[in-house]
Amino acid sequence: MMKISVFGLGYVGAVSCACFAKLGNQVIGVDVSELKINLINSGKSPIVEKDLDEYIEEGINKGAISATNDVEKAVHNSDISIVCVGTPSQINGNIDLTYIYRVCSEIAEAIKTKDGFHTVVIRSTVVPGTIQQCVNIIEDVSGKKHDVDFGVASNPEFLRESTAIEDFWHPPYTVIGTLCQKSEKQLTELYSSIEAPIFTLKPEESEMIKYANNNFHAVKVTFANEIGNICKELGVDGQKVMEVVSSDDKLNLSPYYMKPGFAFGGSCLPKDVRGLNYRAKTLDLKTPLLSSLMNSNSYQVERGLQMIYKTGKRKIGFLGFAFKAGTDDLRESPIVEIIETLLGKGYDLSLYDSNILLSRLMGKNKDYLTGHIPHINRVLKDSVEKVVEESDVIVFGNKSEEFKQALETIPEHKTIIDLVRIDKSRTTKDNYVGICW
């Protein structure tokens, strides 16, 4: 059994109190509202949520739940404080973290006079960097040291209104973001009986998860609506279409296309995005999401170019310039677009891709290449080593296995720009720069 204090008895806090008590823990709810405190202490829920009244009543009857406005009492009688206060939007859309920082300051005052280690968990939705600021506040106010006297962790919730208790017991995963091993161990133990994978991350990664999730949900709703609008005008049942689209868990609802990196290209995606957007226009339909795809893709190409420009170097090597490894398809390859731009600006380029051999290129591929890189013979090299030798900056353009092997051979004085995450263990540091990592 763990002793837990939950700060904020709104939607997330009330559900968390009830469910953590159901797990066999001793839980103290903390709020400034006397009404919420009295409701909890009388065995009633402060919100409408399926089964929550029964959970709270059971917890009160067993002596597993209590509620108070006394912060010091709550902190001194718990090992973990879980912060569930609101983070509303400001007029400009920015998140208001006033309540988070205020509660952390109040908890810190209590930690100042408490013996023993205490963990503070931010369960509210907060922007990356908030955990570090909370650490700073608690250290300043309490006079104690993070990872010695206390720990701070991010632990985002995934509770939907009307199904919150079911979601608590069956989450997609549990995310714990902390730099404190003791806090990580406590939270791992706390969630050990919940059947869901546990991801232990850096605090900033954990803080970003909820935003990524909710924005992805918003994208899916908007996408389905825009497809549905087009279907309706064409006399097609949009729900039938999306039902089949959603049944594909190999590509559509899968990790396959969910890897941040470089722009898309090839013979299908750009053509079909343009084609559907044109059809929507002829139907007098607005498709803000679908219409933004090509612009967003072009921006990713521009980011790649800016990374090269910022090196200040003129000798640039490219390892891989087909639009993905294992193919010689060059049509609308974003790497070719970068190469074409750099050539136009007078950069000295060296290119290598084992799948791009002029003697084998035929038809549209050959036309595309010679049309965009007319002096291809001058810049095309016959080995990885030649490109590395002749370049000050080496750009990884696809994930060919031979390029992975070459990564470790590149001298430290040469800059590596990775557009495809050739090595998952690396993030931007020293002479290595990743486009999204």
Cα–Cα distance, 59 to 421 (Å, whole number):
49
Summarize pLDDT for 16-66 with one digit per residue, the tens: 999 999 999 999 999 999 999 999 999 999 999 999 999 999 999 999 999
Residue 230 structure tokens: 């087009």
pTM recorded for the entire structure: 0.88
The candidate with the shortest Cα–Cα distance to 382, out of 372, 390, 374, 392, is: 390
**Predicted confidence (pLDDT) per residue in 353-372, tens digit:** 887 765 455 556 666 666 77
Share of the chain above pLDDT 70, in %: 95
Per-residue model confidence as pLDDT tens digits over 95-127: 999 999 999 999 999 999 999 999 999 999 999
Domains with residue ranges and CATH for the chain:
3-202 (3.40.50.720), 296-434 (3.40.50.720)
Taking the CB of residue 187, how many other CB atoms lie within 10 A of it? 27
The angle that helices 334-344 and 363-372 make with each other, rounded to 10 degrees, is 30
Overall size of the chain counted in residues: 437
Residue 329's pLDDT is: 65
Q: In DSSP terms, which residues pair with 65 in a beta bridge?
A: 27
Q: Which of 180-184, 266-270, 314-318, 352-356 has the lowest mean pLDDT?
A: 352-356
Q: Which pLDDT score is estimated for 363? A: 59
pLDDT at 325: 65
Cα–Cα distance list, 347 to 92, 309, 342, 431 (Å): 42, 10, 5, 20
> 268 an active-site residue?
yes
Out of 84, 180, 268, 436, which one is annotated catalytic? 268
Q: Which residues pair with 418 in a beta bridge?
A: 396, 434
